[in-house]
Amino acid sequence: MSLTNLYKWLKSPLLYILIFALFINMYFLIKNPGDVFHNPKVYGEGVSAYGSVDAYKYASMAWQLLHDGIYGYAETKSNAYVTPGHPLYLAAIFKVSEWVHMDHILLTRIINMLLNIGIVFIIYNISQLLFRNIFVSSLASLMYTTYFSGYHFFRTLLTEIPSMFLFMLTILIFILALRKETLMWHIIFGIVASITLMFRPAPAPLLLIGWGIIVYKSGWKEAIKIGFIWCIGPVLIMGPWVLRNLLVLGHAYIFSSHSGDPLLAGTDPFYLRGYDSITQDMVNAGYTVTEENKGTYAKILIKNGFKNDFALWFSWFTLGKTIHLFNAADALRPLYDSYFASWVISAFKLQHFAVVLTGLASMITFRKNPKIFLLSTIVIGYVALSNIFLAITRYGFFIIPCLCILGAFFIVNVIHILYKRLVTIK
């Protein structure tokens, strides 16, 4: 690095935001607050340290893959209940932990922590590429740095932090591919997007939005060419997974065979009945409780629901589930009530709503700005896809980085507009 570049880097607010983020992440890594991590009554002995039952299942799956050569989630036989990105990620970390004689949970937390800081870096650079405004970039990255949920999830063995990092990296590479218009960047985009979908398949249809932007920008002929270039990634990354499923399970699952459960869990308008009641109805209707049957029964419930009570089911699958996605900063309460002072909890709650509401305000107020429209389309697309399934704040957290960028743009521009009006009045 030349002295000129070093001087620019030292002058950049990003450096100091990253240092700030590092200190906060280190605090949470060392102190490790939250009842979920030290109260076995929450999930049981041997489970609480992983962060949740799902996290424990992922960890068990990774050990089973390493030592028995069996790829099976929550079972001792092969299955395709989850996509392979996160299990392979954990298996790689666990293998390294064996080589260096380090606790596998601690090593996973450290790597997740670095990815969590990486999200801050990516948010800043996406903002700079889109808006070329140091205030928007700095505020957006600070909004995520001070947002609570990431500090909980980087200490679990869940998919949240790795998948969020990859999702934001995919957006960054897509913007670079649009700017540079080179073959290599489009190949990289296809590969990174495919890896992201192997961690979390939900954003898959958003690729159509990206391709639509290419059509609008470059025309059909160029878009078709770029579409084929993007396909290199799925062939290299997803192809082996599909082939494995076909050979081992006799079914070419592109993503997973486990979508029936979250689909069924989302068929309880405003969660008035409870999941157990729905599954009992399913048994009473003559269905055995399998993933395939859950999906079939869920589709019947949705069809009948819209037919018999359209207003209730439409409001649930639109506004209702959206509210449930964003009605709180995930994992904050009640896990941290006994650790943080009440005013700290209140501050985190207020900041969550500030991020969500300013992000929404930006989507509405600046909807004619093409760059805001791009981010808004990503947010709306993700929310619409999430609303098909179970809607919980954990899934809402996934799109918070995009809302931070939108919110920062709104705040900076509103301040700028107000300042100009004050100067004009004077």
Is there a single domain that holds both residue 137 and residue 280?
A: no
Integer Cα distance of 119 and 112 in angstroms: 11
| CA distance linking residue 171 with residue 375, whole number of Å | 9
d(CA 127, CA 117): 16
The residue among 272, 304, 336 that closes a domain is 304
Terminal Cα-to-Cα distance of the chain (whole angstroms): 47
17 in a domain, yes or no? no
- Within this chain, do residues 147 and 224 fall inside the same structural domain, yes or no? yes
* Number of CB atoms found within 10 A of residue 147's CB: 20
CB 191 within 8 A of CB 64: no
Residue with tokens 């009640």: 334
Q: What is the pLDDT along the chain (426 residues), one digit of tens a residue?
A: 565 666 666 778 999 999 999 999 999 999 988 755 555 555 555 677 788 888 999 999 999 999 999 999 989 999 999 999 999 999 999 999 999 999 999 999 999 999 999 999 999 999 999 999 999 999 999 999 999 999 999 999 999 999 999 999 999 999 999 998 889 999 999 999 999 999 999 899 999 999 999 998 889 899 999 999 999 999 999 999 999 999 999 999 999 887 778 888 899 999 888 888 998 989 988 888 877 788 889 999 999 999 999 999 999 999 999 999 999 999 998 889 888 999 999 999 999 999 999 999 999 999 999 999 999 999 999 999 999 998 899 999 999 999 999 999 999 999 999 988 888 776
The dihedrals phi and psi of 286, each to the nearest 5 degrees, come to 100, 10
Residues 139, 237: Cα–Cα separation, whole Å: 35
**For residue 124, is it within any domain?**
yes
Two structure tokens written together for 220? 């059909």
Q: What pLDDT sits at residue 5?
A: 66
80/144 same-domain check: yes
Does residue 59 share a domain with residue 112? yes
Q: Are residues 367 and 403 in the same domain?
A: yes
Asked if 163 contacts 199 with a C-beta cutoff of 8 angstroms, the reply is: yes
Instruction: Pull the structure tokens for residue 331.
Output: 């994992």
Burial class (CB in 10 A: 0-12, 13-18, 19+), 407: buried
Question: For residue range 321-372, what is the model confidence (pLDDT) as tens digits?
Answer: 999 999 999 999 888 988 899 999 999 999 999 999 999 999 999 999 999 9
- Cα 80 to its chain centre, rounded Å, is 21
**What does the pLDDT look like over 215-255, one tens digit per residue?**
988 898 999 999 999 999 999 999 999 999 999 999 999 99
- Asked whether residue 15 is assigned to any structural domain, the reply reads no
Asked if the structure places residue 66 within a domain, the reply is: yes
* Domain termination residue (choose one: 287, 304, 321): 304
- Gap between the Cα atoms of 337 and 334, Å rounded: 5
User: Would the pTM of this model clear 0.85, i.e. be above it?
Assistant: yes
* One domain for residues 85 and 63: yes
Side chain identity, residue 71: Y
Distances (CA, A) of 74 to 53, 78, 84, 264: 10, 10, 14, 19
Q: Which of 304, 337, 363 is the last residue of a domain?
A: 304
Domain that holds residue 297: 257-304
Residues 297 and 321 grouped into a single domain: no
* 239 and 114 in a common domain: yes
Q: Are residues 275 and 173 in the same domain?
A: no
Contact criterion met (CB below 8 Å) for 169 and 46:
no
**Domain-located, residue 13:** no
Q: Is residue 1 part of a domain?
A: no
Are 292 and 319 contained in the same domain? no
CB 325 within 8 A of CB 383: yes
Per-residue three-class SS string for the chain: CCHHHHHHHHHCHHHHHHHHHHHHHHHHHHHCCCHHHHCHHHHCCCCHHHCCHHHHHHHHHHHHHHHHCCCCCCCCCCCCCCCCHHHHHHHHHHHHHHHCCCCHHHHHHHHHHHHHHHHHHHHHHHHHHHHCCHHHHHHHHHHHHCCCHHHHHCCCCCCHHHHHHHHHHHHHHHHHHHHHCCHHHHHHHHHHHHHHHHHCCCCCCHHHHHHHHHHHHHCHHHHHHHHHHHCHHHHHHHHHHHHHHHHHHCCCCCCCCCCHHHHHHCCCHHHCCCHHHHHHHHHHCCCCCCHHHHHHHHHHHHHHHHHHCHHHHHHHHHHHHHHHHHCCCCCCCCCCCCCCCHHHHHHHHHHHHHHHHHHHHHHHHCCCCHHHHHHHHHHHHHHHHHCCCCCCHHHHHHHHHHHHHHHHHHHHHHHHHHHHHHHHHC
Distance between CA atoms of 173 and 176, rounded to whole angstroms?
A: 5
Say what the pLDDT of residue 334 is. 84
Q: Does residue 122 share a domain with residue 92?
A: yes
| 313 lies in the same domain as 285 | no
Say if CB 141 and CB 12 are below 8 A apart. no
The CA angle 198-203-207, to the nearest 5 degrees, is 100
Query: Taking the CA atoms of the chain, what radius of gyration do you get in angstroms?
Result: 23
12 assigned to some structural domain: no
Residue 368 lies inside a defined structural domain of this protein: yes
Overall number of domains in the chain: 2
What pLDDT sits at residue 272? 86
Planar angle of CA 319, 321, 322, nearest 5 degrees: 60
359: Cβ–Cβ under 8 A, 6 or more apart, which residues?
379, 402, 403, 404, 406, 407, 410
